[in-house]
Each structure stands twice: as structure tokens, then as C-alpha cells.
Chain A
Amino acid sequence: MKNNLLKWYQTILISWKKNTAYRLNFLLQIIGPALVFFFIKYSLWNTIFSKNPGVKIGGYTFAAMITYHIWSFIVSLIAQGHTALNLSMDIRMGRISSYLIYPFNFWEFHTASFIGFQLLQFVVASISLLIFSLLGILPEFTWTNLVLGMTCSFYVSLFWYTLQYLTGIIAFWLEETWILRVILQIVTVFLSGAVIPLELFPAWAVKILEYTPFPYLTYYPIKIFSGAPVDLTNFFTIVTGWMIILILANSFIWKRGMRLYTAAGM
């Protein structure tokens, strides 16, 4: 048990070091997109509200909309930062042969790397909150909501990881898995309420979305951060349900994929 924990600890440490080895790259690849996305949304909503001063759009004032997008920035950092790039590369390049021999399997290695990445994202999100606070644009919050929001975002990140894992192991069949990741990213950004709060969507679309995992990826974590009433039991039940489905799918695909695996380059 102790030996196994040590392996997890060392892999988390390696993941941290790998991610911070090229700092400019990390800034451009992870923090930059979230910052630019926030800046575009701020500019867009600022223009919209300046033409319609004092008006409420979908129940949002300008201040409420910016608050929504500040929390959206934090949620995107914690909940949806991870990609399955290394995972699919390992399969395509035949590198998983090593994991079949090592006493630390493929799933454990990538999950530990993911935890390392998440710790780093937590530090980035905390620094961002501090900067927002120094700039005087940090929305009002209670510590309870902040801790709850962070916890829910971490939980969503586990769901996101299992989803990314699924797109990664499809590399057993698919030459280019980045396409699936990009499709997932496009659909998620749009349907999760990362650009437009779900209150602005047509009512029929919101009804349909309630049956999908998308609102739980961004919209609900934002609502939890901002202290809006969210049924937490429902939130955790639905995210857990989707996660179980994905874990089962991952396990099935992994077993089928291993039958096809040819260990390229060995």
C-alpha cells in the first residue's frame, strides 16, 4: 500500500515538473486561452450593455453578467483544463507496452498525471482569484460557497477526465483523436453555458440540455460559486451517474482496444 502511494506521489510530482518545465508554453497553452476567452466575453457584454444601459438580459445586469464570466473563468481552469493528448500519443506510438510490464498501469499513471495537473490548475485559479481581488473585480462571495464551488469544480474535472480518457483510448481505432477532442471542446463551450448563460437559451433547448451532462460542466459550478440555490444532491447524483457510465465505457473500450493493440515500433 505504502509503495503504491509512493508511486502515485512520484508520478504527480513528475507531472507537476513536466507542466512547469516550459513556463511560457504553460502560460500560452493553459492560462492564455482562458484569459483571452474572458477578455472577449467581457468586451462583448460590455458593448451589449452599453447600448442598453440599465436593462436586464435574461435576468442579468452587466455586473451580474461579468460576475458570471469571472466564475466561468475559474471553473474552466479547474474543471476543463485537462486534455488526453499524452494518452492517445502513448497508444499511437506503441508506448503503452511499457505500462503492460510496469507495476504501475496505464490508468494509474495517467490519473496520477491528471492529479498533478489539477494541483497546478488549483494554484493558477487561486492566483487568478487573488489578482481579481487586487483589481477590485472579484465578485462578492462567501467562503462556504468558494469551498463548495471549488469542490464541485474538482468533481466535474474528474468527469471531464473520464470523458477525455474515452476520447484518448479511441486512438486504438482512430488515427487522429485530436478531432474528437476539438469537437467535444466546441460543443461543451457552447452548450455548457460558458459563453452565454443558459437563462438566455430558448426554454426548449434548456429542457433538452437538462438531460445531458453539459450544464453540469460549467453552468451549475458557476451558480454554486455565486451562491445561487442549486440542488447539490441532484448535482452530485447526475455527475456521478454520467461518470459511472463513462468508466464502464472506458473499461469496455480498453479491453476491446487491447485485442487490437500491435505495439507499433516494438
Chain B
Amino acid sequence: MKIFKEINHYIQVYGKFASTSISEATSFRTSFILMIFMDIFFNLSSLFTISIIFDHVSLVGDWNKDQLLFFTSFMLVVDCFHMLFLSHGFWRFSDDLKTGNLDYTLLRPVSSIFTVFFRYFKPSSIPDFFLTVGLIIYFGMKINLGLWQWIAIPFLVLLSFTLLALIEFIISCAMFWLVEGLGVNFLRMQLQSMSRMPDFIYNQFMKRVLTFCIPILLVGSGPVQFIFDPSKWIYLVYMLGGIIFCYYFLIFIWNRGLNHYDSASS
């Protein structure tokens, strides 16, 4: 019973976060519209890049054009979730650490990790959600996905998003030890870029490092490899293992970071 009460409490808090974020975002309408265009430009450039490459070759690795476009669409959906729920929080976190605003977060009766990273909802990515879901459906139909694959996709997107979020939370903890944390956000974005390419393009060493040490390649390649070939279920085991490990490591590193945190405002 207690756990349901706790979940309900967090849902109510998140509702408030979302409603203030929507009010804030819609106050600046030009910025709001530009953000929608930003997402669209990003999606188009990702898809056109692949399309142009396939004008000249028939395969990249063992994948054909439709398979790679499906992979990209899958990553765009995960990116969209990331933009909707998390993206703003990372940038504000580095500011909060510098200005001492993190103090107010620590005083609240909710998890500080939850407040820091889920505080800002980005409503301008809602149109992007429909666009990317449309893309994944379109390319999924082109590669003739079966019923179980369609059913699995939402769960796999959720799994990928969870893993990506945990990896990025851990990386962001480095900001506790740095005076200027902005660069950490760029590191995070570079890892995201690497995950937007299938794992088979990287050499064996990098593939192992980015699968087992920093499991960023599992975010996209893990679920899509499984969708294409269910005998590769081991990827899902790696993902679940990665999520469990990252969760406990995040709690550990976050607490170490808080111990190290020296408020700038007090």
C-alpha cells in the first residue's frame, strides 16, 4: 500500500512540474515554435543522411535501407522521449550546482534525482512525438514486422529510454566534481550521437567498451537487433543487466556527489 501512495505522490508532483513547464514554454511562443522546427530539422537531416548514402550503396553492414531507417526511427522515438522528459534538466543542473540553487531541491520531500532531472517537461516536443511514432510505424510496415514485434516496440522503447536516462544521469554526476560542468553535457551528447548508429559499424574494441563499460550502444542496437532477429535475445538480457547496474551505481555516485557538494549560496 505504501508504495502505491508513494507512486501517487510522485505522479502528483510530476503533474505540477509538467503544468508549470507548459505555462513557461507557452509564454514564449516564438521559441516554442522554433523548438518544434528544431526537432523537425533534426529528424529530416537524420533520415536524409541515410537516404543519400543508400542512393549509392545497397547495404550498410548487413542492413538494407529500410532496416537502417527503421533503426533511425526507433532512435528518434527514444530521442523524442528524452527531449520531452529530460533534456532541459541536464542543462539546468550545471547552473544549479554553480549558483547553489540545488539547495532548494535537496530540501524538498521528494527524491533529489527525480526533481533535478524530471523538473522540466518540454511540451514543444509533443508534435515530434507524433511525427516519430508515424515514422516508426511507416518503416516498421516497410520491413513487414509481425504482431509480436509491434507489441514489443513500446516496451523496448521504454527500456531504451530508461537505460539512456540512467547512463546520462551517471555522466551528469561528474558535474559535482567540476567547477564548470557545461562540458559534461557535451560529452553526454556525443555518447548520444554514437548510439544513433548501429553497433556493427564500430570496431570490436569500441563495441565492447560501449556495450559493457558504458552501455550506450545497447540503447538502440540492443532492441532493434532483437526485433530483427529474436535469437539475439541476449541483447535484452544485457539491457536489463545494464539498467540494474546503472540504477545502483547512480544511487552510489549521486550520494557521493552530494557529499562532495559545497553550496555556492550558503
A48 touches B41 (CB 8 A): no
Say whether A108 faces chain B, with CB atoms less than 8 Å apart: no
Expressed in whole angstroms, the Cα–Cα distance for A37 and B187 within the complex equals 12
Q: Is the CB of B37 within 8 A of A183?
A: yes
Which residues between 16 and 75 of chain B lie within 8 Å of chain A, taking CB atoms?
Answer: 28, 30-31, 34-35, 37-38, 41-42, 45, 48-49, 52-53, 55-57, 59-61
Cβ 8 A contact of A196, one of B38, B53, B200: B53
Interchain nearest-CB distance for A85 vs B (Å): 9
Interface size class of chain B, counting residues whose CB lies under 8 Å from the partner chain: 35 or more
Q: A58-B56, A179-B38 are in contact. Are A47 and B49 (CB under 8 A)?
A: no
The answer on a CB contact under 8 Å between A190 and B45 is yes
Partner of B56, one of A26, A57, A175, A189: A57
Q: Are the CB atoms of B31 and A175 closer together than 8 Å?
A: yes
Q: Which of B34, B37, B197 is within 8 Å of A40, CB to CB?
A: B197
Q: Complex Cα distance A40/B217, Å?
A: 13
Alpha-carbon separation in the docked complex, A200 to B56 (Å): 8
Interface size of A by CB at 8 A reads 39
B179 contacts A22, C-beta separation under 8 Å: yes
Give chain B interface residues in 182-208, CB to chain A under 8 Å: 182-184, 186-187, 189-190, 193-194, 197, 200-203, 206
**At the interface, yes or no: B6 with Cβ under 8 Å from chain A?**
no
Chain A residue numbers with a CB within 8 Å of B182 are 25, 29
A202 at the interface (CB under 8 A from B): yes
Q: Which residues of A contact B179 (CB under 8 A)?
A: 22
Neighbour of B52 across the interface among A26, A37, A187, A201, CB < 8 A: A201
B60 touches A40 (CB 8 A): no
Structural contact, A28 and B56, CB atoms closer than 8 A: no
A241 within 8 A of B: no
With CB as the reference atom, state the residue of chain B lying closest to A58.
B56
- Which chain A residue lies CB-closest to B203? A43
A-B CB contact pairs (8 Å), 24 listed: A22-B183, A25-B178, A25-B182, A28-B183, A29-B186, A36-B190, A36-B193, A37-B193, A40-B193, A40-B194, A47-B61, A47-B200, A51-B57, A52-B59, A58-B56, A179-B31, A183-B34, A183-B41, A186-B41, A186-B45, A187-B45, A190-B48, A196-B49, A200-B53
Residues in B lying within 8 Å of A, measured CB to CB: 28, 30-31, 34-35, 37-38, 41-42, 45, 48-49, 52-53, 55-57, 59-61, 178-184, 186-187, 189-190, 193-194, 197, 200-203, 206
**Which 9 A-B residue pairs are closest in the complex by CB-CB distance?**
A28-B183, A25-B183, A36-B190, A190-B45, A22-B180, A47-B201, A25-B180, A176-B31, A29-B183
Interface: A63 (CB within 8 A): no
The answer for the CA separation of A201 and B45 in the assembled complex, in Å, is 13
A182 within 8 A of partner (CB):
yes
Chain A residues, CB < 8 A from B42: 186
Query: Which residue from B28, B38, B57 sits with its C-beta under 8 Å from A48?
Result: B57
How far apart sit A29 and B181, CA to CA, in the bound complex (Å)?
A: 10
Chain B residues whose C-beta falls within 8 Å of the C-beta of A129 in the assembled complex: none
A179 to B42, CA, bound (A): 12
